[in-house]
Amino acid sequence: MAKLEPTKGGYYLWNYVPSIVAAAIFVVLFLITTTLIMWRMFKTKTWFCVAFAVGGFCKLRDATRRPHDTNIITVEFIGYCARASASKKTGKIMPFAVQNVLILLGPAFFAASIYMCLSRIIRSLSAEHLSLIRPRILTRTFVIGDVLSIVVQGGAAGLMVTGNHAKLGEGIVIAGLLIQIIMFGLFMMTALVFQKRINARPTIETVGSANGWKSSLRMLFLVSILIMIRSIFRVVEYASGHDGYLLQNEWPMYVFDSILMVGVMGIYYAWYPTSIVVDGRKGDVVPINSY
């Protein structure tokens, strides 16, 4: 029977025995949603969505140009696999560290494709003049912020497996999450301003357009709100400390993180941006360095 155990150093990594059933359910859900998104990505050759399909760490060699060299591994899927295995290994550092880092970082990888999608919508409508930020700068700015968030959170998550540096790690993770929240806030403001301007001053490309830009824009708002809610929850969770209610109980993570992230992937698949046309091309992505 699974029980709560300390590490060899006497430090308790967990405040509860993680549910193997709950973790297994989300292993299946993330496997299904990731597979569906990957199927659409390869079918439509929308390589800018590779970061979303990955949802975490991958061996990525300039996927926008050499997609067949990409070895895709979804972070959320592996994260919950590690969490399921940790149920009977609560005193082991490795499964705790793997699930902690990967589940924490998954949404940051979703963000990369979301940022690129807005840039493509703007370019597909020849509406660069209506955007607060030029599409080329928009993608680079938000992706750089996203990478910074990943680096900060990823580096700090490793500190949390040691009793001596756990509080420092939690503080740095909060900083990484705040970067993510700020970037998403700026992104949503940019998208809202663009929507208002394009509705007030539609371009020729919007008239009778069948490229699905409106549904894609709605999709971006929905998934951004869900990721924002999840990031705010994570900030509150870590700010409450190791002895706080949110880290003492397992259900809040599944309600305010796992379910929301499955929802993000489901919404992205349902309104997948397959029909956005950029420079007369449908599906295939313009390399990142051309934005």
Q: Which residues of 35-46 are buried (b: 16+ CB within 10 A; e: fewer)?
A: ebbbebbbebeb
pLDDT tens digits for range 196-211: 999 899 888 887 555 5
Give the pLDDT score at 279: 54
Give the integer Cα–Cα distance in Å for 26 and 23: 5
Tell me which CATH code domain 20-201+211-273 carries: 1.20.1070
How much is the average pLDDT of 251-274?
91
- At 242, phi and psi to the nearest 5? -60, -30
Give the integer Cα–Cα distance in Å for 60 and 228: 26
Give the integer Cα–Cα distance in Å for 246 and 261: 18
- At 265, phi and psi to the nearest 5? -70, -35
In the three-class reduction of DSSP (H, G, I as helix; E, B as strand; rest coil), residue 59 is classed as strand
By the 10 Å C-beta count (0-12 exposed, 13-18 middle, 19+ buried), 220 is classed as buried
Q: Which of these, 276, 271, 269, 286, lies nearest to 55 by C-alpha position?
A: 269
282 pLDDT more than 90 = no
Give the integer Cα–Cα distance in Å for 170 and 104: 12
Give the integer Cα–Cα distance in Å for 52 and 50: 5
48 pLDDT more than 90 = no
What residue type is 36 in one-letter code? L
How much is the average pLDDT of 176-192?
91
Instruction: Tell me the domain boundaries of the chain.
Output: 20-201+211-273
Lowest mean pLDDT among 16-30, 159-173, 255-269: 159-173
How big, in percent rounded to 5, are the helix, strand and coil portions of the chain?
70, 0, 30
pLDDT tens digits for range 95-140: 888 888 888 888 887 887 888 889 888 988 889 999 998 888 888 8
